[in-house]
Structure 1
């Protein structure tokens, strides 16, 4: 295949026409002229995010029914809830390599095969170990998706839309989780697992009709296909010459370096990128999110509040707040949203902890359940506006193309490892001390504020190549 690109090709117009889909500064599509192909391609990608959310949300509304039908104890159900993250760690280990060697679309399709098999195993489970196998397979699938979806969306969108479009990943996770909560309140757990197959099939059947990432195609040496994909994504009248040239030059510069293994990432030039990427994932998970969303029903029961009303309240808060985060992503920037989000999660956990303290002291018995609800809702709302989406957005932005696969695998693996620790330990922590559990989460969220203020760069309005060059420059001067 010819790896050389003729930049005088008709695919790459060298001047702007009157109908070109670019903004007034030539920075890419304006919000009023976003190409239809870009919107459809992003929607196909984030169907994977919906699958991710439905898998996470499944264990909360089904807990009592599964435990009753299959005669499981708390420890056995904790294995079922947390084995999802074991599978996700397996998926995370191979996610970067599959996405780098086979392409982003193939990786998404591969993940959905795992998810479909997993949901089928859960649907027809008669004994606990079939449940575990099914949950493990779904975990493998979403481990792949959690890396490849935000990376793919970040690579196909122009810089002025990248934050909002990448944050749709988290919005669809939220929708998947919330709708699974709601549907799970009315249908049998086997039917709920069957319903989980539908979005998997939608993405799997749609993938052949969307373009692959122009940046991945350039990295693979398929430069003409890269230019063609970029033209499709920007609109047929858009001038993509400058962006295509920047992608080509940046890719060629980094391909002169050896593609780093995970061990090779621990070099000075990648130090800040790695610290920011890994640090945000650790703090995101140790702030308690998966313990809270996996076992939301049991939290409300422990606090003396109605589990059904609490679940509906979470949905009512989570979707609007996630939507606000998406809308603000490219306006306010990543850092301000992260800071507000981290402060809010700290306050939310503190209020929940305080409610359990009052419950233990047998004081304000009518107030403590309401305080627990308020604390959980403040936490979920605050998390949704920033801490949910932005670590994945930043992960997809900060690593150069020659290490993106290895770095993405490492960051995603760390995220799922921390998620497994929290999801497995949460029920035992609550048995130890409900108040102590939430005070611990509150302290970690407070530390997150300091971490963001000191280390996390602002990436709004900059191309991926500009972000990566500035971080490498920073590291090389250290």
Structure 2
């Protein structure tokens, strides 16, 4: 059914893969690239084990109060939003490979500042710099992988971006159980250094090379990525026919082939954050503590493990099921689980009046211990299902789709707009999570997230194209015909 939908949308069947293609070096290049998202995951996961430690630290210059802890968790998203703008410029000007290599500088520099921090402002600066690198990475890596991959494995490799992000988050959770916050920052800086080393041996994407008329280098890149015996001339011809030499003009955004995929991409990023995932993951330990669970760090590791497992499942099946099917399943699971999580808080909060307190943690700690102990399984199951549902679809697929649907000449600026949207929304949802719970109550907030998950399903049905099995040039031609 998904294959039929793909053919009807894009106008012609997907090409049969060349049996002479060898993927070994393609996988090596993809692995080198996704070390960036691994660093990105460490950045996201770092706040969860570190915030409780910094709130109890003896040094008054480094001790975080509630408001400072909120900024420490969310300021990384502001850096990432700026990184989206910078990445959109770099990816078109200096190329995909060099942009990715440059990311290692703010990653390492940011964690170095955190390691040597003497006050809260140094912590903020370190988080901002690592966020900047994360924003560039979140834009460049999907573009790099989509442009080096052939259609048969592009979905799997593109989903590995999110898989490495959640692996980094889980790694930060596990290491945070053992390492103090400074040593955890040392560990988090390693993947970006390895990425810099590996990427120096990988090729630039053939599409970028052809857009710069570097024909011999493009052929060499195809030989590296497909193996010496594949039909390089056929793929070279397909890419060359789709390459637009001229620069993108602002007036061209009136063209539906430019603005339609841009609007779809921006909406995907907008709706992804409105599921509430970053609010849950940034404060994973704190949420469990305030739901009266004994070992919040272990609970966070369990949540991270679920996310890794189901993201891996999505990566393995996405090229068979298609993108839209997984988005439907993911949206439905998240809608149901957030509704149940809201029900849990509705049952454990003794009176609605308590939840008008603007301090979310006082609100949640007002839950009745006896009630919590009898239905704590509901919170565990609901949160686990939410994370599993997000990992199956709305986690990896929006990043994959935005790397596929933009025309080559608009890929940098359009991807930058999507990344900026994603991280601005991530900041707003994360920073205002406390205020949302104070205004709507804890259960009302999760029911609001559930309503947005239902809206995600409707948006997928009407506006998201199925890109399974299609070349990037075929997808671009579909939007031109539309």
1:228 matched to 2:216: no
Aligned partners of 2:113, 2:343: CA distance in 1, in Å? 41
1:49 matched to 2:37: yes
What is the CA deviation profile of residues 39-69 of structure 1, one whole-angstrom value per residue up to 9, with x for unaligned ones?
1100000000101111111111111111222
1:430 matched to 2:409: no
Give how far 1:38 is off. 0.6
2:478 maps to which residue?
470
Please say if residues 288 and 422 of structure 1, whose CA atoms lie closer than 8 Å, have aligned partners that are also in contact.
yes
Matches within 5 A, 1:251-330: 251=243, 254-256=244-246, 258-261=247-250, 265=253, 267-306=255-294, 307-330=296-319
Aligned partners of 1:28, 1:337: CA distance in 2, in Å? 27
Aligned partners of 2:220, 2:372: CA distance in 1, in Å? 65
Aligned partners of 1:466, 1:367: CA distance in 2, in Å? 55
Matches within 5 A, 1:148-297: 148-251=140-243, 254-256=244-246, 258-261=247-250, 265=253, 267-297=255-285
Matches within 5 A, 1:107-122: 107-122=99-114
What is the CA deviation profile of residues 111-152 of structure 1, one whole-angstrom value per residue up to 9, with x for unaligned ones?
110110001111111200000000000011010000000110
Give how far 1:453 is off. 0.8
Aligned partners of 2:176, 2:107: CA distance in 1, in Å? 18
Please say if residues 257 and 476 of structure 2, whose CA atoms lie closer than 8 Å, have aligned partners that are also in contact.
no
Q: Secondary structure at the match of 2:304?
A: helix
1:100 matched to 2:92: yes
1:354 matched to 2:343: yes
- The match for 1:379 among 362, 383, 386 is 386
1:91 matched to 2:79: no
- The match for 1:443 among 443, 451, 455 is 451
Please say if residues 260 and 403 of structure 1, whose CA atoms lie closer than 8 Å, have aligned partners that are also in contact.
no
TM-score (norm 2): 0.89
Give how far 1:369 is off. 2.4
Give how far 1:402 is off. 1.1
Q: Once structures 1 and 2 are overlaid, which stretch shifts more, 295-304 or 167-176?
A: 295-304
Q: Secondary structure at the match of 1:358?
A: helix
Aligned partners of 1:429, 1:368: CA distance in 2, in Å? 24
Q: Secondary structure at the match of 1:160?
A: helix
1:413 maps to which residue?
420
- TM-align CA RMSD: 1.7
Q: Secondary structure at the match of 2:150?
A: coil
1:58 maps to which residue?
46
Task: Flag structure 2 segments of 5+ consecutive residues without an equivalent.
Answer: 1-13, 351-367
Give how far 1:316 is off. 2.8
Aligned partners of 1:367, 1:429: CA distance in 2, in Å? 27
Equivalenced residues, count: 445
Aligned partners of 2:376, 2:76: CA distance in 1, in Å? 30
What is the CA deviation profile of residues 155-208 of structure 1, one whole-angstrom value per residue up to 9, with x for unaligned ones?
000011100011110110011011111111111011110101110100011111
1:402 matched to 2:402: no
Aligned partners of 2:226, 2:71: CA distance in 1, in Å? 46
Give how far 1:264 is off. 5.0
Give how far 1:227 is off. 1.3
2:138 maps to which residue?
146
